[in-house]
Amino acid sequence: MKESFRQFVHEHVTKLEPLETRASEAWWRASTTGEPDAYRERADLQTRIEAVLSDREKFAALERFRESSDKLDPVDRRQLDLLYLSYLGRQCSPDLLAEIVERASDVEAGFATFRPEIDGRRLTQNDVEEILGGSTDDDHRRRAWEASKEAGRVVAEPVRALVRLRNRAAHELGFDDYYRLSLTLEEQSPEEIETLFDDLDRRTTAPYLAAKREIDEALSRRFGVETGSLELWHYHDPFFQEVPEPDDLDLDASFRDRDLLGIARSFFHGIGLDVAPILERSDVHERDGKNQHAFCIHIDRKGDVRVLLNLKPTSRWMSTVLHELGHGVYDRGIGIELPYVLRHPAHTFVTEGIAMLFGRMSHSASWLSRMGLTDGADPREREDRLRSLQITRQLVFARWCQVMVRFERALYADPEADLDRLWWDLVERYQAVSRPAGRRCEDWATKIHIVSTPVYYHNYVLGEMMASQLLDAVLARLGQPEGNEGALVGRNSVGAFLTDRVFSQGASLPWSDLVAKATGSALSVESFVRQFG
């Protein structure tokens, strides 16, 4: 049994490792050059990877191994668990899988080509964002917002059809719906997510309403509207998921004419983590044809880690550099002695948590001071203002995520339900924004994540919880008070702690065990609420 399982793993890795490495290389080439043949190569390799993982006989073999998994040692058993889940998700009928992919890309294309119109004038998404970000004309804002929601009419029915197909795939595999299937494949459950989100709801309602009152009062002054009459289009973005920087707080002042990579290198060096090997292989400046976003990629699971950036000397990019390098130090710290199957982060939200922990630094007054990044403002005042901005941002985003996460669960539970109504019930309940009088529209369908990254949104919140919990664990180890990011600067033991407790473990433990082992307690809202509640 033990031998035949090892033989199985050996064959699996021999097939998959070169495909995955080449797919990563192709993705890197596509993203840095924009060459169409690189995109094609990546898509081809992706199809070949899918073919390996959808092999029926291999899946049957994995099911047999599971019947006597108690005969395996813990490392093999862990590999078996992860292999089983990666094959399981691909075992529904190939025609159905192909149809799901095709329908999803049709809907995405529908989104991409949709252009809102006002008085026959076509707008881009940027136009809408600009109007909502800057216009003080009440009527213009309403019309831009309403126009952007017209996409819902176009895509609502195709989205429902896609949800039905995804549910059919889940039924084929013996699951109630696609929501539960997706979470199971990620070693999560709807009940566990619900418990955390209920807890977060209870603990953030009062502070959120207090923060929102301030936002509303500012909007009321700006638009000359009673706070009770504010509508969703008075907020800064179409979903009220973000909070803009106040005009009189110049966050970029600390970073003008600064070398962001140099700052990051010296910060990470100070905590005992070396990012030089990552930066050597990275692509950091803007260029024609290049992907305009930012990401970190581990090409070969052997330490070839790179980040793609489009640097500008701003606070936002400082945060992004630290975030992506956070993913990078995690990947580089994974134990090379682990088997290939376990040589990746413990969970998406765990590596997000690490990246968020570092990304938050650039908004921390104590970190900025310790790094010598002063901007001429009074340090005490800067600290207070940055702190309250961070709190408001975290609360607003967390409440918005409540809407998304609960909506997705309900959507897959019953795609035929009155989703228009459900969506606004959730917006009113969690974001405390009223529905426009008499509005009946498919506003729920205008969030592209439902199509492009289904059943993922909860991981953003879990990542933030993880970041706060890790920060507290590190600070406790340093004997420092809670919530003081700046205390990490120059502390060599921070890197050693994170490497030992988190990075080096790879995926050898389920995330829940890893979190408990690394931080001393199960994942909870405690630290997050203490920091931002």
307 binds Zn ion (CB under 5 A): no
Q: What stretch of H or E contains 118?
A: strand 117-118
Choose the stretch contacting Zn ion; rule: CB under 5 A; options: 15-23, 110-118, 351-359, 445-453. 351-359
Choose the stretch contacting Zn ion; rule: CB under 5 A; options: 90-98, 352-360, 431-439, 511-519. 352-360
Q: What stretch of H or E contains 139?
A: helix 138-172
- Cβ-contact 9, 341 below 8 angstroms: yes
Residues within window 388-417 making contact with Zn ion, judged by CB under 5 A: none
461 binds Zn ion (CB under 5 A): no
Q: How far is the CB of 327 from Zn ion (least distance, A)?
A: 6
Q: Which residue is nearest to Zn ion (CB)?
A: 355
DSSP string, 343-380: -S-S-HHHHHHHHHHHHGGGG-HHHHHHTT---SS-HH
Q: How far is the CB of 43 from Zn ion (least distance, A)?
A: 23
Choose the stretch contacting Zn ion; rule: CB under 5 A; options: 93-101, 150-158, 354-362, 511-519. 354-362
- Cβ-contact 406, 400 below 8 angstroms: no
Backbone angles phi, psi at 298, to 5 degrees: -105, 105
C-alpha atoms less than 13 angstroms from C-alpha of 395 in its C-beta half-sphere:
27
Number of neighbours of residue 172 by Cβ within 10 angstroms: 14
80 binds Zn ion (CB under 5 A): no
Choose the stretch contacting Zn ion; rule: CB under 5 A; options: 3-11, 278-286, 350-358, 475-483. 350-358
308 binds Zn ion (CB under 5 A): no
The SS3 of residue 121 is strand
Nearer to Zn ion, 188 or 366 (CB): 188
Long-range contacts, stretch 425-429, CB < 8 angstroms, 24+ apart: 426/402, 427/232, 427/403
Choose the stretch contacting Zn ion; rule: CB under 5 A; options: 52-60, 199-207, 223-231, 353-361. 353-361
The token pair that represents 13 in the structure block? 């890795």
Q: How far is the CB of 401 from Zn ion (least distance, A)?
A: 15
Nearer to Zn ion, 282 or 446 (CB): 282
355 binds Zn ion (CB under 5 A): yes
Q: How far is the CB of 294 from Zn ion (least distance, A)?
A: 9
Q: How far is the CB of 195 from Zn ion (least distance, A)?
A: 25
Closest CA to 327 of 268, 378, 376: 268
Nearer to Zn ion, 415 or 463 (CB): 463
Burial class of residue 361 (count of CB atoms within 10 Å of its CB; 0-12, 13-18, 19+): buried
215 binds Zn ion (CB under 5 A): no
Residues within window 179-208 making contact with Zn ion, judged by CB under 5 A: none
329 binds Zn ion (CB under 5 A): no
Region of 303 (left: φ > 0; alpha: ψ -120 to 50; beta: rest) is left
Q: How far is the CB of 6 from Zn ion (least distance, A)?
A: 34
Nearer to Zn ion, 45 or 466 (CB): 466
Residue 492 is which amino acid? N
Residue 371 is which amino acid? M
Q: How far is the CB of 355 from Zn ion (least distance, A)?
A: 4
144 binds Zn ion (CB under 5 A): no
Nearer to Zn ion, 178 or 400 (CB): 400
Nearer to Zn ion, 40 or 293 (CB): 293
Nearer to Zn ion, 26 or 355 (CB): 355
> Sign of dihedral through CA atoms 131, 135, 137, 142?
positive
Which residues are at the interface with Zn ion (CB under 5 A)?
355
